[in-house]
Amino acid sequence: MVPKDQPVLIVGGGIVGCSTAYYLSKAGFTNVIVIEAVDVAHAASGRAGGFLARDWCNNQPTQALAIRGFEIYSELTAELGVDIGYRHVNTLSLNLGSGDGRGDATAPGWVDGQVSNVSVLGTKGTTAQVHPGLATKALLSKAQEKGVKLLRSRVIAANYSEKKINSLLLESGETVPGETVILTMGPWTGFGLEWFGKSKIISGERAHSIVLKPEPGRVDDTALFLSLPAGETEVYPRPDGTVYVCGQQDEEPLPADPALVVSNPVMCADLLQAAYRVSSSLSGLKEESTSACYLPTVKDHKPLVGLVPGFTSLYIAAGHFCWGILQGPATGEALAQLILSGEAPESIQRLDPARIIK
């Protein structure tokens, strides 16, 4: 249980960190600082697809976070007062190969490539999308209206004795005092754990994406999951008229500095070719942008959300893999409740870091 007037230091300006800041500010915390090494939504929270599914995590430890996350996004546009690229979508699965044209009447008209075995994965009642970068920045902006501060700097160490944290040390040599620290650094959270003498147990898998911009009106609001010999590729038309295409994971090691993340041009080219094959509306377009991000991973494939063992006020929220955007706001909400009350909400009880961190 943390007093509302004491400093709370959140390290990481992605969807989880900014959501936590937002819900702490709603709960009345008056001295919250988000410390971000590069920029808000710089990594996966600005480069991910933003696909939301209400029931794809059912019967998993993250089921409650997924359901609550899906609900939260339906509320956030009104709460935040800005466009975050949110809308409900239909979602289809299809094979892309030697099919004969559309392959199935359930495919929308713009999906006119060699596709087959079309099936429904979700409807507008169960799947949706959001623009991750817009949502992350809007959450922080609204929190800043309530006094949350943003500090752009790189943390390199922590000052602590026994179970108590005293401050964080910045690359500049400055220190930021605070007894409560929350690590929300995505795949880089492992480096943060090392500041406190813990093992670096979180890493990441690199995934690639491209953004295309077809002529207005050429695509609708259907999200596509394509089965290809090289793996799954996802295609998400967005409300702003662009089309986001992602997939192509590899084992490139996570760089220590988030600013050093680069994409593999061959894998981005493969995504472009997949887009060409699925739709003549996309064929021949040049990429508006290419990118890569690392999906944060934990060895047992469950996020770590809660109090870090051995400390009275060190918290962690990371390891959501591909569901960070969906579960991020619900994670921030639950973490704020834990910090306020000292009791972990049911939604994160099965994600206790003590199961792995000793």
Question: What DSSP assignment string belongs to 182-208?
Answer: EE--GGGHHHHHHHTT----EEEEEEE
Q: What does the alpha-carbon distance between residue 116 and residue 231 come to, in Å, rounded to a whole number?
A: 16
For residue 220, name the pLDDT band (cuts at 50, 70, 90).
Answer: very high
When computed from its CA atoms, the radius of gyration of the chain, rounded to whole angstroms, is: 21
Across 223-244, b (16+ Cβ under 10 Å) vs e yields bbbbebeeeebbbbbbeeebbb
Task: Say which range, 6-10, 95-99, 247-251, 305-309, has the weakest mean pLDDT.
Answer: 95-99
Do residues 294 and 255 make contact, with C-beta atoms less than 8 angstroms apart? no
- Confidence (pLDDT) at 230: 66
Do residues 9 and 181 make contact, with C-beta atoms less than 8 angstroms apart? yes
Do residues 92 and 222 make contact, with C-beta atoms less than 8 angstroms apart? yes
pTM of this structure: 0.96
Instruction: State yes or no: pLDDT of 92 exceeds 70.
Output: yes
Instruction: State yes or no: pLDDT of 101 exceeds 50.
Output: no
What pLDDT digit, counting tens, does each position of 57-67 carry?
Answer: 999 999 999 99
Domains in the chain: ranges and CATH: 8-81+131-201+299-355 (3.50.50.60), 90-123+204-296 (3.30.9.10)
Task: Kindly report the number of other CB atoms within 10 A of residue 193's CB atom.
Answer: 22
How large a percentage of the chain has pLDDT more than 70? 97
Tell me the average pLDDT of the chain: 94
